[in-house]
């Protein structure tokens, strides 16, 4: 089976052309888990299948490193945009991609290469953030979870919950770089308040336009970046009066530019997408 390894800000996935490689649906979770293994597989934060779609220009079917299905991946969808353009599957620089029934609009930014232009950055309309507890989902009594206490590991944190098509719990803290995420992350991911588990972002405010974030992703552990997480963080920052609507999110793997346009209630994410290598693997 042919594959392409790609990354956006260090958030790396194995990409498979679902039109050329006929992997039965029931086999995809186990295959994703095997390919994601960094010792015995290709290595990555998960696997994304790309195919044509009747709902959009393309469909992405995303699996986390543990084989569980993911609804959306911001870094992943940018790489899908690069994949389909660089490989000549489309000539359009404005495309749509659907994942789990949700359609996103992508603007592809290119530069000259050897022969065909290559995509270097992608701007994605990630849609509207959702704050209703049932939509995230999170167990809560109010209409929103903003700066609400949560107990984990014997201490109390303050969290703001957002859905960007997948669940996020945003925790504002100091000295985020020093946090023991291997210990803390699973406490939030598997907390009883999150029926479907959750992604957790630990955020340090640097100034009104810049934040630093580390993320514990549901099903993958700590990753170098999380696009939907950055979008959730931008919304949470505004709700808590900590930043403006446009911010730079500094990550372990790079930087993303995020804008929450409150007039249209749309969140825009801009960042890089790169091919790491390509190859074949026996399945």
Positions marked catalytic: 73, 226
Give me the residue label for tokens 């390894």.
5
Residues 6+ apart with CB under 8 A from 118: 82, 86, 110, 111, 112
Sign, CA dihedral 135-138-143-144, equals negative
CA gap 16, 145 in Å, rounded: 37
Residues 6+ apart with CB under 8 A from 4: 14, 15, 16, 83, 275, 277, 278
- Three-state DSSP state, 35: helix
Q: How many helices (H) and strands (E) does the chain have?
A: 4, 18
Hey, what are 210's tokens?
């810049």
Q: Identify the three-state secondary structure at position 189.
A: helix
Report the b/e string of 182-219 with b at 16+ CB within 10 A: eebbbbbbebebbeebbbbbbbbbeeeeebbbbbbbbb
Task: Please report how many Cα atoms fall inside a 13 Å half-sphere around the Cα of residue 6, on the Cβ side.
Answer: 26
């Amino acid at each position: 089976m042919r594959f392409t390894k790609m990354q956006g800000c260090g958030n790396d996935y194995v990409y498979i052309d679902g039109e050329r490689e006929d992997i039965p649906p029931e086999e995809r979770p186990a295959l994703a888990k095997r390919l994601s293994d960094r010792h015995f597989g290709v290595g990555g934060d998960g696997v994304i299948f790309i195919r044509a779609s009747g709902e959009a220009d393309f469909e992405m079917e995303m699996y986390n490193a543990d084989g569980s299905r993911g609804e959306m991946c911001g870094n992943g969808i940018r790489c899908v945009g690069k994949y389909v353009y660089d490989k000549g599957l489309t000539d359009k620089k404005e495309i749509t991609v659907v994942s789990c029934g949700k359609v996103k609009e992508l603007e592809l930014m290119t530069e000259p290469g050897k022969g065909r232009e290559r995509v270097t950055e992608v701007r994605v309309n990630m849609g509207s953030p959702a704050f209703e507890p049932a939509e995230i989902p999170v167990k809560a009594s109010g209409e929103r979870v903003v700066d609400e206490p949560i107990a984990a590991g014997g201490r109390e944190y303050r969290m703001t919950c957002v859905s960007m098509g997948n669940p996020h719990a945003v925790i504002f803290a100091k000295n985020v770089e020093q946090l023991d995420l291997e210990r803390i992350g699973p406490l939030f991911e598997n907390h009883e308040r999150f029926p479907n588990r959750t992604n957790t972002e630990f955020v340090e405010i640097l100034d009104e336009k810049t934040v630093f974030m580390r993320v514990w992703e549901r099903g993958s552990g700590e990753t170098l970046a999380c696009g939907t997480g950055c979008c959730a963080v931008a919304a949470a920052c505004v709700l808590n009066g900590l930043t403006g609507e446009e911010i730079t999110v500094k990550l372990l793997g790079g930087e993303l530019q995020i804008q929450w346009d409150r007039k249209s209630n749309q969140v825009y994410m801009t960042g890089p997408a790169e091919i790491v290598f390509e190859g074949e693997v026996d399945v």
